[in-house]
Structure 1
C-alpha cells in the first residue's frame, strides 16, 4: 500500500481535508508543534488504496536572509547588500513544524502539497518540498488544486493531482529576494541617517525606531500623501448658479440649471436678469423612462476588502483574517481571488437552495430559485478560483461577532448577485425660462429587486409632481445661488486598496498587509472617521526622495516589477534575468540617494520647524496611532487638527473669510455644496494652488511648494473698468455714496452677446461693492 504525506497551509485546512477524505473517520495525533496536528486515514490515490498522513504548516516556512557577516549596520557598506549572497532558511518560529515534516517525510513514499492555489501558496509548497526532500530524496511530489473545502472539491482534487508550478515559485523567489535587498539597503540608509540627525527623536540603538523602506510600502504611502497634498494645495473658486424653485401639490421642486455654473458673478447677473425678463417658464418636455439599479457583480478579494471597510467598519486585514477562517471551516469559498465571474460549469442553484433555510433571507432565496439563478458577472478571471461565495448554510446562532458579519456579507452579496436588478421609472421635466434651460427629475421605484436582501445599498423614491408639456409656469422663483469648488476627501482604506489594485501595487493577497505596515511604521494615521492622514515622517520621506529626483513613492517601479513577475509565471522571462535588471535599477538609485541623503533630513526638519519644534532635541513630529503629531488635517479633509506628541500645538489658522455677500436681495448662498465637489483636487481648468489662501489653513505641511497664481477669467467682467463714452449717460450705482458705474459687454455666445450693461466699478470681492446692474 502506498504511503502518502499530505501537507496543507493551515491546520484547519488539514483537518477539513482529512475529515472529507476519511468520511469523518480520521485519527488525530500530535505533531511537534501543538498548533499543527497529524491526521491519519486510508483513501484512494491513483486508483489504489493508500495510507495517508495529513499535517500542515502555518504559512511560509522559510525566508530569504543575508549571511551573518552582513548583519552589522555600522560596518557593512550598505551598497554591498545589492549583491551579497543570500540564503533561504527556515525561520526560528517554524523549527518545530520543520521537525514534523522531516520525520513524516521519512515514513512516506509521496508528498502531496495542499496549500492555497495562488502565487504565495505555490511558494509555500516549494518550501515544504525542500524541507521534506532533505530527509527523503525518494519522495514523489504532487500538488492538489482546490478552491473550497467541500466534499466535491476535495475529492476532485485528490483524484486529479498535478505538479507544482516551478515558474510561479521562481517569480515569488525573485520578488522576495529583491524585496530583501532593496528593503534592507534603503531601511539602513534612512534609519541610520535620520537617527544620527534626530537622535532624541528616533533613538540611537538598533532596538529603537526603524524607518523601513519597502517597494510596496512606499507607493502605498505615496497615494496617501498625494491625496493630502492635492487637498492642501487646492484653491477654492467661487461659482454661481441659477436655480428655479417651484411648489406644486405641496412638493417643492428644484429645477437645476443646464449650464451647471459660471465662475464670474457679473455673467451670472446678466443671465439672471435676462431670464427674469421672460416672466414665465415653459415646460418644454416631460420624459418618462425605465430606470435600473444594477445588482452587484460576483465578489472578488478587492471588493470584499472594500466592503469590509466601508460597510462593516473593519480593516482590510481583519476582514481577510475572518474570511480565511470561514474558508478553512468550509463555510465560504477561497477568499483570495481576482475572479469576478462565475465559470459556466459551476451550478449555483444548490448554493441558493441551502440559503432557503435562513429565517433572515430564506424567503428571498426561494424567490431567486423561482425566478431563476442569473449571476451578474464581471470580466476578470485569474483562471484559478471562482468568485467568493457561500458553500453551506450557517445559522445566526453558530457564528459570533466579526465571523457572522463577514459571512452575512458574503451570503447577501451572493444572493444579490444572482437575483434581479432593482427597477423604477424616472421622470425628467425640462423647463425653459427665457433663454435659460433647467431640469428636474423624479424616481418611482417599481421593484426593489436585489435591494431587499442587499441591505448595504439604498435607493429611495424621489417624488415629482405632474407636469404637462407646453404648460406655462408663473408662480416660480428664479434665484442665484453661489458656492465654492471643494477638494476631494482624504483617502479611506477602501480608496487606497482600489488605487493599489489599479496601479498593480502588491496583489489581492498582500494589499491589507502593506497598509497595515505603513500604519505600524507611523507613516500614516487613521482619523476617527476612517480617513487616512500622512504623518510628518511619511510626508518627509516622500518629499525627501522627490527632492532628490527619484519618484520612489510613485507606483511605476513596483508596477513594472509586477509585470516582470507575470512574465516569469508565463515563461517569457527567466528569474535571474529579471532579478539582475531590477537590482541594477534600484542600486543606481540607491547610490545617488546615499550621496544626496542630507535632503531627507532637511525635509523632516522643515516639517518639525513648521510644527513649532527645533529638530534634534525636539519632540516627535510624526504621529502615534490615530492621535499623534502628524500634520493638521487639510481644510478639505475635515476633522480637528492632531496635536504633536512631544511638541507644541500647530500654529493657529488665520481667521476665515466671511460668507460671500448675496448677489441680489432675493438670492440665497450655498457654501461648499457636496454636489459640486471636484474630483482629483482640481478646479475646472486644472489649476491647483494653496488651500490655505482660500480657507485660512493651518500650517502648510509642504512649505517648499509655491501656489500657482489664481486663474484669470476670460469674461468681460474681469476687464479693466473704463469711463463711459461721450454718447453714453453717466449712471450711478447703489453704493453709499453712489459711484459712477462702469459699462461692460456680454461676451458669452447667445442672444445677449454684445449687449452692454452697467455695474458697480469696485472690484468684485470688495466688501463695499454693491450689486447694481442695469442694461445700457
Structure 2
C-alpha cells in the first residue's frame, strides 16, 4: 500500500463490523499518540472514535466507527412480499433489491456524514466472504456520499496490537469476488427458501392440525436449502435405527491367566450368525483346547497430536468434551475473540503459515498456573518436546487456525464456558506444537484346534502431547510375556451370544461432521442451520446432545422423499456451495451460477407442487386432518392490479364474501387498517365489517 501524495493530514474513515471491534481497534491504534476522543454517531450504539496516527509515514486523522453485521437486506419488490401476491413459482425470477432496513438507517446516516469529510475509507470487517460482502455494503453507502474516496481493506485475525498495527500498515484492496459469492448465496437462499416455504406452509397448515391448540395461523413451515439437508441427516439416521432388526450372533472368547496377569483373546472370525456352525467350532476347540502361540509382534506405535484448530473442529470438540451446543460455542468464541484472547473463530484453515511465530504464542502461556510448566518445557531445546504442527490440508486464505492471542488465568467476568473454551484453545495449540505420544504395542496370536485368536496390549512410553491435552487418552492393558511355540490350556473358553444393535442417534459432533463432509453450510453458518431446526420444531436434542426428528420434521422429509426429488439430501446444496466457491475464486460468474441453480431448483419446485399429494399423504401419517377450508389459492396466481378507485394501490383478487351483493363472484381487495377497499371492474365501495 502506498499513501496518496500531497501534503496535510489525510482524514481516514475506518469501519468495523461491530461496535466492540471498533473500540478495540481505536484503543490499540491510539495508544502511541494518546488523545483518543469519543463521540456519539447517529446511532447511539455505534460511536465514533477520533485520534491521530501515521500510515506509511503519512499523517492521518483517524475516525473509527462500526456497523452491526450486515447493513443491507435482500428483499423482493413490495408487490411480491405478501404471501398471496403471486404464485410462489414466480419468486424464482421476481425482482429483488438490496437496501438498508429502517432499523439501520441511523448507521447509514453516520457513514454518509463521516464519509463526506474523509479522503480514505479503511474497512475493518471480518476477513471472510461474509465480511467482504458487508464491506461492499459499506462501500456502496460511503461512495454514494463521496465518490472520491480511496478505498482500502485491513486484514487481521486477532484483536491484538501486533496484528492491528500490521494490518493498518499493509492495507490491501477489498475482494469483489468474495462479495459476489455471498450475493449469489443470499439470492439463491432467498428465492428457494421463500418459494418452498410459502408452498408447503399454505398447503399444509390449512389441511392438518399442527398445533395442539388448533390455532395454526402463525405456524411457518420453513424450507431452507441448508436447513433441509441438515434435517435429512437426522431423519436418515432415525430411519436406520427404526429399520434395524436385532439379530442374534455367537462368538468364542478365550482368556489365559498367569503369574504376570490375564490376557483376553478375541476370535479372529469375530462372530457367526449361524448357531449350529458356532457350536460345531466351539466343540472342536473344547475337545482340543491346547493353545499354541503362533506369532508375537512388538511394535512401536505413535499417537499424533490433533491438527491445528478450525471452526468446525472447535464446535465438534466443545460438544464432545463439554456438551456445549455449536451455537453457544460460537457465541462464547466470538466474545473471547472480541476481548482479544483468541484469534478469529471462523476459519476453515487447519495449518499454520511458516511465517507464524509459534514460539512467541507459546511463550505468552509460560506464566499460567495449570499449563505454564508444559509451555516452558516446550520451549526448552533440551527437552526435545517441540514439533512443528502438522498440516491438516485446508486453507481458506483468510485466517489462521484458532489459537490463543493473549494470556489469561481466567478473567473475573468469565463464565465456566468461557474458561473451558479458552482452555481448549490453549491446550489444543500447545498439543499441536508437541511431539506425538510413543507407545509399545504387543500383539499375540494363538491357535486352538485350527481356530485363530489374538490379544493386544499397549504401554505408553512417552506421553508427550498427552501431558497437556487432557481431553485425549491412550493406553491399554499390558500383556503377559509369550513366546512363539509356547503352549497353554486356556483358563476360560466360552461360547457367548450377543445381539446386533442399531447405530446411535446423531450427536451434535456427528451432525457437524456430516455437514462438513457434504459441504452443507460454512464454518460460520452450520450452527445457525442446526438451531433453526430446533426453533422450527423439526428436531429435538436430548441431554446427550443427540438429535431426533419430530413428527413434523419426519413428515416433511418423508413427503419429499416419496416425490423422488431428494431435496432433503445434501447433493444439491453441495453443488451450490461448490459453485459459490468457484465464484469466490473467479472461475465462474455470479450470473451464471444464479441462472443454472435457479433453473434447476425451479424445476424441482414445479415437480414437487405437481406431486403435492405425496406431501399431504406423508403429513396424514402423523397429523389429524383439519376441518378448516383448505386454501384454494395456494397453487394459483392471485391477480394483482391497480385499484379502480385511486389507480395507485395494489389490489389482490379475492372470492366475493357471502354477505356482499352478488354483483360479481370475484373482487379486488386491499386492507386499510380495519377498513377493506373492494374494486370490481368499474365500481368500488368501502366496507367496515369485512
What TM-score range do you get, normalising by the shorter chain?
0.7 to 0.9
Alpha-carbon deviation of 1:200?
A: 6.2
Alpha-carbon deviation of 1:249?
A: 2.6
Per the alignment, residue 126 of structure 1 pairs with 136
Alpha-carbon deviation of 1:47?
A: 3.1
Contact 1:301 1:335 in 2 (8 A): yes
Alpha-carbon deviation of 1:46?
A: 4.2
Matches within 5 A, 1:14-33: 14-23=22-31, 25=34, 26-33=36-43
**Aligned mates of 1:617, 1:17 — CA distance in 2:** 60
Alpha-carbon deviation of 1:377?
A: 2.8
Matches within 5 A, 1:393-432: 393-398=407-412, 399-432=414-447
Q: CA RMSD in A?
A: 1.8
Alpha-carbon deviation of 1:475?
A: 4.6
Ranges in structure 2 where 5+ consecutive residues have no aligned partner:
1-8, 629-690
Alpha-carbon deviation of 1:231?
A: 1.1
Contact 2:206 2:626 in 1 (8 A): no
Alpha-carbon deviation of 1:207?
A: 6.0
Matches within 5 A, 1:184-199: 184-199=194-209
Alpha-carbon deviation of 1:206?
A: 8.9
Matches within 5 A, 1:159-178: 159-178=169-188
Matches within 5 A, 1:182-331: 182-199=192-209, 201=211, 208-249=218-259, 251-331=261-341
**Aligned mates of 2:158, 2:289 — CA distance in 1:** 69
Per the alignment, residue 377 of structure 1 pairs with 391
**Aligned mates of 2:89, 2:571 — CA distance in 1:** 23
Alpha-carbon deviation of 1:478?
A: 1.8
1:34 partner SS: coil
1:174 partner SS: helix
Contact 2:71 2:137 in 1 (8 A): yes
Contact 1:37 1:55 in 2 (8 A): yes
**Aligned mates of 1:200, 1:566 — CA distance in 2:** 39
Which of 438, 441, 447 aligns to 2:462? It is: 447
Per the alignment, residue 578 of structure 2 pairs with 563
Alpha-carbon deviation of 1:257?
A: 0.8
Compared CA separation, residues 605 and 570, structure 1 to 2 (3 A): same
Compared CA separation, residues 145 and 475, structure 1 to 2 (3 A): closer
Contact 1:203 1:209 in 2 (8 A): no
Compared CA separation, residues 585 and 205, structure 1 to 2 (3 A): farther
Alpha-carbon deviation of 1:427?
A: 1.5
Alpha-carbon deviation of 1:74?
A: 2.3
1:292 partner SS: strand
Compared CA separation, residues 366 and 229, structure 1 to 2 (3 A): same
Contact 1:348 1:373 in 2 (8 A): no
1:354 aligns with 2:364: yes
TM-score scaled by structure 2?
0.86
1:135 aligns with 2:149: no
**Aligned mates of 2:503, 2:537 — CA distance in 1:** 23
Larger relative contact order (Cα-Cα within 8 Å, sequence gap ≥ 6): 2
1:44 partner SS: strand
1:588 aligns with 2:603: yes
Contact 2:156 2:164 in 1 (8 A): yes
Ranges in structure 1 where 5+ consecutive residues have no aligned partner:
609-613, 619-776
Contact 2:79 2:85 in 1 (8 A): no
Residues 379-436 of structure 1: per-residue CA shift (max 9 Å, x gap): 1111221111101111124433221111111001111111122222111111111101
**Aligned mates of 2:214, 2:281 — CA distance in 1:** 67
Per the alignment, residue 656 of structure 2 pairs with none
Which of 15, 22, 38 aligns to 1:7? It is: 15
Contact 1:276 1:478 in 2 (8 A): yes
1:528 aligns with 2:543: yes
**Aligned mates of 2:69, 2:283 — CA distance in 1:** 72
1:503 aligns with 2:518: yes
**Aligned mates of 2:554, 2:505 — CA distance in 1:** 14
1:366 partner SS: helix
Residues 730-772 of structure 1: per-residue CA shift (max 9 Å, x gap): xxxxxxxxxxxxxxxxxxxxxxxxxxxxxxxxxxxxxxxxxxx
2:295 partner SS: strand
Residues 253-303 of structure 1: per-residue CA shift (max 9 Å, x gap): 211011111221111112112222223111222222212222111111110
Alpha-carbon deviation of 1:203?
A: 8.5
Per the alignment, residue 460 of structure 1 pairs with 475
Residues 223-263 of structure 1: per-residue CA shift (max 9 Å, x gap): 11111111111222222111112222373321101111122
Alpha-carbon deviation of 1:465?
A: 2.0
Alpha-carbon deviation of 1:32?
A: 2.5
TM-score scaled by structure 1?
0.77
Residues 22-43 of structure 1: per-residue CA shift (max 9 Å, x gap): 1263222222323222111111
Alpha-carbon deviation of 1:152?
A: 2.1
**Aligned mates of 1:197, 1:311 — CA distance in 2:** 44
